[in-house]
Structure 1
Amino acid sequence: MHNLSYEIRPPAAALAHVVESFWRLETGAVVDKPVLLLPDGRIDVLFSYSRAEPLHVTLLGLGTEAEQTTLAAGTVLCAVSLRLPAAEYLLRTRVADILNSARPLPTDFWGITAAELTDFNLFCTKLNATLPTLLSPAPDPRKLRLFARLYATDGALPVHELASEASWSSRQINRYFQEYFGLSLKTYCAILRFRASFPQLKAGRLFPEQDFTDQAHFIREVRKFAGVRPKDLARNADDRFIQFSAWPPQ
């Protein structure tokens, strides 16, 4: 990525059901970088500082639309990208109130310091050791089954089939999603399908390969979540779509 350095790592196996990845991003030291944040189905805990701002920690809720922001020059950012069960079993908080928004967290959250943001190995090692101790015991097996299928299929299964496989009613699932995350399960599935299209779009394949009805449906969904047509997202001028830029090519 132009003017950005980026690296990503998976979590320890004990965290795989709640943590998707750890990642680190650093901007160039000369100019600010305008970017668009795309909906990607993740909750993020962001630890960052720049030349202008000291260390601050932010909980970023789910997004349903592209959001314009600017990364200040000289920003160092380390993040923990969380799967949805983390809200209940790791963070122990609902995030419905920060849909398309964020919440500040204490600057000493999870014991991370500014010095650890400069050493990605240390950042990952510390959190791999710390986070398992914060997990609450005995997660609901219905939720584990539901989220396992959601992520394994990239949101391709209909709600009634997910409910059947989880042995949990569709009504109860949607109540849980609205109360904890601020959206319906159907909308979340659509976000996962959108995100799963990144590799094909990066490869220049502008037709639907996920569970979209047809080309028109695919275009509508990409426009809804990215604000542009598939060809414009694939072009990604100036690396403005930050998650798309960071996604490895297929």
Structure 2
Amino acid sequence: MLEDKNIVLKVAEPDKQLADFVESFWMIDNRSDAAHEIVILPDGRFDIIFCHSLAAPYQVMQMGLGSHPEQNSILPGTVMFAVSFKLLAMEYLLDMKAAFLLNSAHRLPDDFWGITKNDLNNFDGFCQKVSLKMLALIKPEIDSRKQKLFELIYASKGSFTVKELSEKVFWSSRQINRYFHSQFGISLKAYGNILRFKASLSHIKMGKLYPEQNFSDQNHFIKEIKKFSGVVPKELSKNQNDRFILLSALPEE
């Protein structure tokens, strides 16, 4: 629950048919007359964001993987509807290599997927419309090694070794790392660290300020949390003014 009632945040899960490709749909609506300062945290996802605000016209942005925290603000009157993608979607749904998007963004055509500004008036309707579009775009004959690789990566929440994954999917460590660098612009190990950080957020939100995700010790845990959030776990858990919007979006346990 956000403290500022003028900031509306909603998250929805995809249908099972899209579960290998889409992590979630989400929306943010800043109904106040002031900017809302936020810190964008690395979350291991790619996003396509459809948005408009009082100060800017309707536009569509594709956001790449982030590997460090980034200061930003949600301007007054901003409405954002978005799709957050898992990595398999880059090749088998969006049909692209996304290495060039690391820590950056790319503007897409305003008519991307046939979504218009009017579609940002109904979150459920938006989710249904983009779901139908994505289902029609999924490529057949997905490489079973890659599908299994990502199942293991997400199930482990970042606590894996490349060697372990290699042995389970019968794909050499060298080939896996080459694929990750070429396709996503980041090493598999670095991506695993991001997932482990993200998995720690639910514990930190509950005030559990100690490692639960295979960190070597407390110092390593603090160092990694600060690397990806810019603050130590205690400050992150306080989340003053809902600065860390990803933390605010996590469900209550």
TM-score by length of 1: 0.98
- 1:45 match: secondary structure: strand
Question: Which consecutive unaligned segments of at least 5 residues does structure 1 have?
Answer: none
Moved >6 Å (runs of 4+)? none
What is the Cα deviation at residue 247 of structure 1? 1.3
Equivalent residue number for residue 107 of structure 1: 110
Equivalent residue number for residue 18 of structure 1: 21
Equivalent residue number for residue 210 of structure 2: 207
What is the Cα deviation at residue 128 of structure 1? 1.7
Which letter maps to 1:85? L
Equivalent residue number for residue 180 of structure 2: 177
What is the Cα deviation at residue 98 of structure 1? 1.4
Residues 23-42 of structure 1 mapped to structure 2, 5 A cutoff? 23-42=26-45
What is the Cα deviation at residue 28 of structure 1? 2.4
What is the Cα deviation at residue 12 of structure 1? 1.3
1:95 is aligned, of 82, 95, 98, to: 98
Equivalent residue number for residue 142 of structure 1: 145
**Could you tell me how far apart the structure 1 residues matched to 2:58 and 2:167 are?**
45
RMSD: 0.9
1:230 is aligned, of 229, 233, 236, to: 233
- 1:225 match: secondary structure: helix
Equivalent residue number for residue 58 of structure 2: 55
| Deviation per residue, 1:25-53 (Å, 9 max, x gap) | 10123101111100000000000001111
**Could you tell me how far apart the structure 2 residues matched to 1:194 and 1:125 are?**
31
- 2:8 match: secondary structure: strand
**Could you tell me how far apart the structure 1 residues matched to 2:94 and 2:252 are?**
32
Question: Which consecutive unaligned segments of at least 5 residues does structure 2 have?
Answer: none
Which letter maps to 1:157? F
Q: Name the count of aligned residue pairs.
A: 250
Equivalent residue number for residue 116 of structure 1: 119
What is the Cα deviation at residue 117 of structure 1? 0.9
What is the Cα deviation at residue 166 of structure 1? 1.4
Equivalent residue number for residue 6 of structure 1: 9
Residues 123-202 of structure 1 mapped to structure 2, 5 A cutoff? 123-202=126-205
**Could you tell me how far apart the structure 1 residues matched to 2:79 and 2:169 are?**
40
**Could you tell me how far apart the structure 2 residues matched to 1:111 and 1:150 are?**
33
- 2:93 match: secondary structure: helix
**Could you tell me how far apart the structure 1 residues matched to 2:226 and 2:162 are?**
23
- 2:140 match: secondary structure: coil
What is the Cα deviation at residue 81 of structure 1? 0.3
- 1:197 match: secondary structure: helix
Fraction of identical pairs, as percent: 47
| Deviation per residue, 1:174-209 (Å, 9 max, x gap) | 111111111100000000000001111010010001
**Could you tell me how far apart the structure 2 residues matched to 1:133 and 1:65 are?**
34
| Deviation per residue, 1:125-148 (Å, 9 max, x gap) | 111211110111111111000000
What is the Cα deviation at residue 120 of structure 1? 0.6
Q: Contact 2:23–2:85 at 8 Å: present in 1 too?
A: yes
Which letter maps to 2:188? L
Q: Contact 2:23–2:86 at 8 Å: present in 1 too?
A: yes
Deviating more after overlay: 2-11 vs 70-79: 2-11
